Structure formats: C-alpha cells, structure tokens
Amino acid sequence: MKFFIDTADINEIKELAATGMVDGVTTNPSLAAKSGKKFLDLVREICAIVPGPVSAEVTALDYATMMKEAAVLRKIATNVTIKVPLTPDGLKACKSLSSDGVMVNVTLCFSPAQALLAAKAGASFISPFVGRLDDIGSDGMALIDDICTIYRNYDFKTEVLVASIRHPMHIVEAAKIGAHVSTMPPSTLRQLFNHPLTDKGLKAFMDDWAKTGQSIL
C-alpha cells in the first residue's frame, strides 16, 4: 500500500518524507488556506520535496474553468495530480485530462456508483471519504470493499485512495481489503509506529545494555 500524507505543512512533509514512508501528498483548498502561502508556490514547493503524486485541487465548478486552472497547475511539475470533484463537470474534466496523459484524482466520493463513474472517466485515483461516512453512522470501510470489488471485476486501472482517515485501523482495514493508497494526516502516520510492547521491549534491552557498561562507539 502507498502512503500519502494529507497536509500542506511544508515542515511536516519534509520530516516525514525523510523517513522514506511517504509516496505522495494530497492537498485541498482548506489545507492550502491554513498554510498561509500562495497556492501555486505551495504546490511547487511540495513537488520539489516529494517525487510521487502531489494532488492539487481545482477550485472552479464548471468544466471550462476547471480546464483553465488545470492547465496552470499541470505546468508546475510532472508529478502534479489534478484533483477534481465528483460532479458531471469534474468527470468531464477528468476524461479530458486523463486522455491527455495527466494524472487525475477524483475527490469527494461517497458511493460505489460514483467510483464506477470515475473509473470510466479514466481517473488515476478515486478518493472515497471513509471518516465522513463513519461520522454520519454509515460504514466507510464497506464502501472501500465495494469499490475494490468492482474495480477488480473489470480490471480498472484507477487506484483506490482511501481519504478522510481518522485512525490507524482505517489504514489497516483498507490494506486488508486491498486499497492501493491511504492518505492520512501526519499525526496518523506517526501513530502507526506506536505499540506499548515495542516501547517496553526497547526499554528492557536498553536497561540490560547499560548494565554491561559497554559502548559500540
């Protein structure tokens, strides 16, 4: 499974990219606004840090303006992925861009039917929002299971990018189902390292080593 981080914080991106665990970055208008930076400069900076796909979202709602914005964004770097909403105009833009060899991330997916449309439009990634479904009493992971099943049935090349992740088990369950990518806040990626038995075991090793009075260096 690929790990993307869902942030526009440059310091976080640099720190986590150095671990070798980051395969890409997703951003959205809300995250970009929090950064306080000019959007195009922000995307350019992220693309220079992470060689994998970097999602940059259009802000227009109509096809013609989406395509104009995409033309600007795709010039920033070769790893820019144009992010479009799952609307008729968004899917029309997806079809045009993907036909021209541009990576496209279709976002705000909440049903298997929507995911099927995105795959037929040639999306590189589909972003189902599991946490937001869980928030309203629905089953976000059931959606991931349905999408993965449909995509396997027809050998679609669109990758399932699990978004709106709330905790590490979302990632584990998505991996068990067979989703291709999980995009998560930096704090959630750090949580994946944690286990009390790891901490306990390491402390015991270090205590025993200290008793020897030795040093490797």
Instruction: Name the active-site residue from 14, 34, 68, 83.
Output: 83
| Closest to 21 (Cα-Cα) out of 192, 161, 159 | 192
Q: Which two tokens stand for residue 155?
A: 């050998």
Q: How far apart are CA 89 and CA 191, in angstroms?
A: 38
Q: Residue 127: how many CB atoms within 10 A of its CB?
A: 27
Q: Which residues 6+ apart lie within 8 Å of 116 measured at CB?
A: 150
Q: How many CA atoms lie within 13 A of 190 on its CB side?
A: 7
Tokens 């992220």 sit on residue: 46
Q: Residue 203: how many CB atoms within 10 A of its CB?
A: 10
Q: Is 2 a catalytic residue?
A: no
Report, as residue numbers or ranges, the catalytic residues.
83
